[in-house]
Chains A and B, each alone.
Chain A
Amino acid sequence: MGFRSSFAAFLGKSARWAGETFMHRSAGNLPGVIAMKAAPAVLADLSGAADNIAVITGTNGKTTTTNLAADCLASSGRPLYCNRDGNNLESGVVTAYLVKPERAAEGASSDAPVSCFECDEMYTRYVVPRVKPRFFLLLNLFRDQLDRVGEIEHVQGAIAAALEGSPDTVFLYNGDDPLCAAIAARVPNRSLAFGIACDMGLDADRISDSRFCQQCGAALEYDYVHYGQLGAYRCPSCGWGRPELSFAAENVRMLDGSLAFDIDGHTVQTGQTGVYMVYNTLAVYALSKASEIVSFEGFQQAVEAYRPTNGRLQTFRLGGRSVMTNLAKNPTGFNQNIRIVLNEGGRVLALFVNDEEADGCDVSWFWDIDFERWSQIEGLKAFVGGSRANDMQVRLKYAGIPSTIVENAADVLAATDESDGKVYVIANYTALPPLRRELEALEKASADGCARKEGE
């Protein structure tokens, strides 16, 4: 590492130390921001510190998949650098190298550190060429934040540029997504596809991103659609279609609160729900197998032990009540949550949507969500909150669902009772963390209350 990068890393580490020592909190992105100010290309030097296994991107599921992949890599016992908190710009990746690597177990065959990072789609073009990971994992591409990120073609261009800037990186992508497969078709990198090779019998979403051939523009034909534009597709006009799957999940079973699928003669089981968790888990399986540093047992244990703590599919117990929170920040994410609620027979729904910078300030995508599917639920109680609560209330009204505006989760709990069953709190990017903190506090208060009662 040159003097400039060493000095930059020193400044960044100092910022982290100062934050932790004097402010008693994590310095967030700041160490990376400071280091990059001192040496803009510092990441290229820092990345030499590890065997960089993967950079992970995609519209939906980045943070969950990165954490799951990190758990698997950590099972090898090697020290690990990872931006688990979802700080996914270049500065977040730099910050991850400036903290002490995590180490799950002693006695690994090697002490050489490994890394895996989540990266924002548009920043992959800077991060991937500097980190030069062995694998670049692309989960999916859906429309998201048009006002900030732009149309999907721009995202595809950024990802292709990332791969072109790191020609030895293997592109591991969702072959069920024509928008991902189109990138594999245009870059020189070696590529491997994963996908779900069986029909799950799901109805197609009303609005989908391109179900049109990425090569010639003709309407694609599908043997089956899983959701959005994901499925087994083929172009009747030019013959382009879903690539051969190097990692194919079969016999997918959606169970109550869990799911299972078969792959390569193994059965994979997770304590998570939702079709998109099949993809997230499958992607981590593919990465574990292709990287050859994680055993199937290590992968399976990590998947079984995985418990989200960031509000994604997290369940809170408040006395006799149960509250599930999940993130949804675009139509596809919401449609997935709609299915989860229908599968589980949920009747209390609370949707919180903000329009801060990180959320995007255009909320027209509410109208691309199939809320009409909820209108048949008997005894449904719907609540809306966040800075765009009024817009959501209008959307639900036109889906045939009357709703009440609330401030927070406590309002929802006060307006319902145990007989209404589990409460589903679905929130977008900036709306989720305060709700999670509120529910954590309520859960703690409820547990303390129970403990006091037992002590009386």
Chain B
Amino acid sequence: MSETHHHHGHDHDHAHDHAGSATMAQRVATLVGALERKGIVTADQLDRTVEGFLAHCKPANGAAVVARAWVDPAFKGRVLADANAAIEELGFDMSHWAYVKLRAVENTARVHNVIVCTLCSCYPLSLLGPSPTWYKSVAYRSRVVRDPRGVLEEFGVHLDPGVEIRVWDSTAELRYIVLPQRPAGTETLTESELAELVTRDSMIGTGVCEAPRR
């Protein structure tokens, strides 16, 4: 490895005749390698930290929030007013390495919300788990702010022409979660049965929740 001799130079392991830069995997490997060589972290510590972190981050968390909002109008009011405080009632929090503000936006018969991060891939990780690859793709990030209805059609979400679409570009310190509409015909379901109807995509806005088939 030549970089041990070139602390301030380029990484000369890579050919420079390609227009693109190093892949993300290469960059991460280089960074991790440097941290390990300097004794700042071990591979073991990194693995345990990432696994411990992700063990608590899953779409079931967001689904629990949505289901509670469906059955408890007062809770829904609190989620819409101060989502950080409301999700703490269910034992969830948004603090990863720094405070981020969570905002819930509600789908109704007249308004459909969809979230994106056009600049990178900001996402409510603790409520939805790791983001899907398409959420991080240039195609989704660039197109959903230009033609949201067309993008939603490709996801199989067909909105009535009169429905107003609101796109939320998570450009700074807020993370968004969509409160999808409760499907018709679910009046008799329990809160935990309702939570099973709440998909990850419905909380991004690229899906809708459906009643269980009979």
**Do the two shown chains form a genuine complex with each other?**
no
> Which A residues form the contact surface with B (CB < 8 A)?
none
